[in-house]
């Protein structure tokens, strides 16, 4: 509830990045690129579920410029490398849900999901009662991922 009622940056959008990077940890932003940023999903499917989000408030991938599209993909690749290093998942789901009918919970600001996966990580909890079990607090995950983003981004620059 604190997240939903907290400060918004663009017409009430919870996905818009704050102008002040000092708020990054509170907002669970782990990396800022040139045209996109990465934040932890507050309602994750798995521990370490990330979202790569354009700074510009657009609802569809077709609205991105060539530079924004290139940065979106480069930072998504970076997110995959970070998750593989930190969480050692057996696989990754990477995808977009464009529009409400496609499953976009927040359709007004497009975002790309990067979800670490392990064999057997889907269990009866989600099926029986739409409950997910996440073994680590989001703030702790944020503190573990942010420095690895900085390290790997510097290495690939």
Q: How many CB atoms lie within 10 A of CB 74?
A: 17
Beta strands of 3-153 (E only): which ranges? 29-32, 36-40, 50-54, 91-96, 112-117
- ∠ CA 40-43-49, rounded to 5°: 40
- ∠ CA 115-153-66, rounded to 5°: 75
**Which of 152, 6, 154, 128 is closest to 80 using CA atoms?**
152
- Reduce the DSSP state of residue 63 to 3 states and report it: helix
Active centre residues (catalytic): 111
Cα gap 66→96, rounded to integer Å: 17
Q: Residue 2: what are its φ and ψ, rounded to 5°?
A: -60, -40
């Amino acid at each position: 509830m604190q997240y939903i009622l907290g400060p918004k940056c663009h017409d009430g959008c919870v996905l818009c990045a704050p102008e002040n990077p000092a708020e990054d940890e509170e907002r669970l932003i782990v990396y800022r690129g040139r045209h996109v940023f990465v934040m932890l999903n507050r309602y994750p499917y798995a521990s370490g579920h990330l979202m790569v989000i354009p700074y510009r408030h657009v609802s569809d991938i077709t609205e991105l410029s060539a530079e924004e599209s290139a940065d979106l993909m480069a930072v998504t690749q970076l997110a995959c490398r970070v998750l593989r290093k930190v969480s050692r998942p057996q696989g990754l789901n990477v995808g977009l849900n464009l529009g409400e009918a496609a499953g976009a919970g927040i359709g007004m600001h497009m975002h790309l999901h990067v979800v670490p996966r392990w064999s057997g990580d889907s269990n009866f909890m989600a099926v029986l009662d739409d409950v997910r079990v996440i073994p680590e607090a989001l703030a702790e995950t944020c503190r573990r991922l942010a420095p690895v983003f900085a390290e790997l981004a510097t290495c690939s620059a």
